[in-house]
Amino acid sequence: MSRDSNMMNVPAPARERIDWIDIAKGVSILLITFLHVVLLSDAAGLALWRLKWINSFLAAIRLPLFFTVAGVFAGKSLRSPWRVLLRNKVLLYAWLIVIWNLVFWFSFSTLVTQPQWVGKTIEVTAAFRSMLLPLSPIWFLQALALFFIAGKLLAAVPRTLGLAFAVAMSLATLGVLAKRYDIVHLVPGGRGYSKALIYFAFFYAGAMFPAVVLKAGNLHFRWAVLLLLGCLGLQASLALLDNPALNAMIQLASSCSGVAALLIGSRVIAPTVPGRLFRYIGRRTLAIYVAQYPIIAGLAWLLIGLGVEQSRLLSYAGVLVCTFATIVLTLLLQRILQMIGLASFYRLPRWTGAGRNAPPAVPGDRPPAAIRETGAGRCRRRS
C-alpha cells in the first residue's frame, strides 16, 4: 500500500494555531501537577483528604483531556513517513525516558533522602527498569510513543473503524479493572499499560477527529456547566452500580463530558489574563512534566520542615502554592539547562541527526485548522 493511501485517513496538518487548544493543554498539565503535589504531600504526612477527594473527581478528566489535546496536535507527525515519526517522536520520547529516569534516580538517592514517603527507591536497577516499563512518573512518554505507533498503524483503516477499536479497548480495560483492579499488580508496569489502553481512545479521537474536538470547544458556555454537572452525576452513579460493563460505559461517558466542558472553558477564558497564562504553560508542557516529580518531592519535604502539617488550612494552602511553584521552577530549570548548553534534556541531541529539526519542547504538533474560530476563540497565525 502506498504512503498516500496510508495517510488518506489522517487529517491534514495545521497552518494556523488555535490559542484555546494551547490553553486546554495548560489546564491539563496544571491538573496533573496538582495530582502529583497532592500525592507526594499526602505521603509526606499532610492531612489532605478533601484535596484527595477533588483529585478523585478530576481523575476522570485530566488524563483524557491531556491525551485528547495531544492527539489534536499529532496530525502532522502521523502524516509523516515512518522514519520521521520514529525519529522525531518515538526516539525523542525514548531519549527523554532514559535521561529523566537517571535524573530521578540521582535525585532520590542523593538529594531527597526519604524514599519511603516519596514512593521511590534508590536502587539504580529501578531506574533501568523504568526505562523499559511504564513504572516511573513519566510513563506518559512511553504511552505517547506507543500511541504514535498505533495511530500510524491504524491510519490505513477507516477512522470510524479505528475509533471503534480504540473505544472497545478502553471499555474492555475499564470493565476488567472494575471487576479485578488487583490485576494491574500481576504484570510489571501493569498500571501504566492499563492506563495506556484506556486513554488511547482519547488520543486517537483527537488525532483523527480534530474537527469534532474543535466543535465541542465552540459550544456555548452553558453547555460547559451542563456537561460538568453531567460528569459529576455520572461519577456519583458509579457508587450505586455493581455492573463492570455498565460502569465502564459510565466512566467513559463521564470523561467525555468532562473533557468537552474544559475545552469550552478554555475557549471562553482565551481573551483573559488567566487564559494567556494557561496558553503560555500549555506550550511548555513537556518541560513542566518531565522535571516536576523531584521538585515536588523537595517542596513537600520543605512543607514538612515548616510544620504546616499541624494546620489543615496551611496544608491546603501549601499544596496550592507548591503546585504553582512547581510550574515556575520546572520552567526556570529548563531555561537554566538551555543556557548552559544542556538543551538535550528536552530534545534529541545533535549527534542523533535530529537535533536541528527536533520538534518543540511540547508533546505534540500544531493542531489542524479544521474550524475557523469565532466568538471568544481566536486564531493566531504563526510567523
What's residue 303's pLDDT?
84
Report CA 183 to chain centroid distance, whole Å. Answer: 24
What's residue 116's pLDDT?
46
Q: Is residue 320 a contact partner of residue 46, using CB atoms and an 8 Å limit? A: no
What's residue 188's pLDDT?
66
Residue 153 pLDDT grade (very low, low, confident, very high; cuts 50, 70, 90): very high
H, E, C per residue of 94-136: HHHHHHHHHHHHHHHHHHCCCHHHHCCCCCHHHHHHHHHCCCC
Measured between alpha carbons, how far is residue 357 from residues 92, 117, 240, 350 in Å?
Answer: 12, 41, 52, 9
**Could you give phi then psi for residue 224, rounded to 5 degrees?**
-60, -45
Rounded distance, CA 197 to CA 348, Å?
27
Residue 180 pLDDT grade (very low, low, confident, very high; cuts 50, 70, 90): low
Query: At a CB cut-off of 8 Å and minimum separation 6, what does 122 contact?
Result: 105, 108, 109, 115
The single residue listed with the C-alpha cell 499499560 is 193
Higher pLDDT, 112 or 195: 195
How many folded domains does the chain comprise? Answer: 1
Bridge partners, 379 (sequence order): 18
Rounded distance, CA 305 to CA 128, Å?
32
Encode pLDDT of 200-249 as tens digits: 999 999 999 999 999 999 999 999 999 999 999 998 888 787 788 888 89
Coil, strand or helix: which one is 379?
strand
Percent of the chain with pLDDT over 70: 81
Higher pLDDT, 164 or 134: 164
Residue 123: left if φ>0, alpha if ψ -120 to 50, beta else—which one?
Answer: beta
The single residue listed with the C-alpha cell 505507533 is 149
Rounded distance, CA 132 to CA 125, Å?
11
Rounded distance, CA 154 to CA 162, Å?
6
Report CA 98 to chain centroid distance, whole Å. Answer: 19
Coil, strand or helix: which one is 323?
helix
Q: Positive or negative CA dihedral for 244, 153, 24, 194?
A: positive
Q: Which amino acid is at 80?
A: S
Domain extent at residue 343: 3-380
Rounded distance, CA 299 to CA 322, Å?
7
pLDDT at 324 over 80: yes
Burial class (CB in 10 A: 0-12, 13-18, 19+), 3: exposed
What's residue 373's pLDDT?
40
Query: At a CB cut-off of 8 Å and minimum separation 6, what does 278 contact?
Result: 22, 23, 26, 27, 30, 266, 269
Q: Which of 236, 243, 248 is nearest to 201 (CA)?
A: 248
C-alpha cell at 50: 478533601
pLDDT at 115 over 50: no
Q: Which amino acid is at 41?
A: S
Residue 62 pLDDT grade (very low, low, confident, very high; cuts 50, 70, 90): very high
Rounded distance, CA 32 to CA 285, Å?
10
pLDDT at 91 over 90: yes
pLDDT at 141 over 80: yes
Rounded distance, CA 137 to CA 132, Å?
13
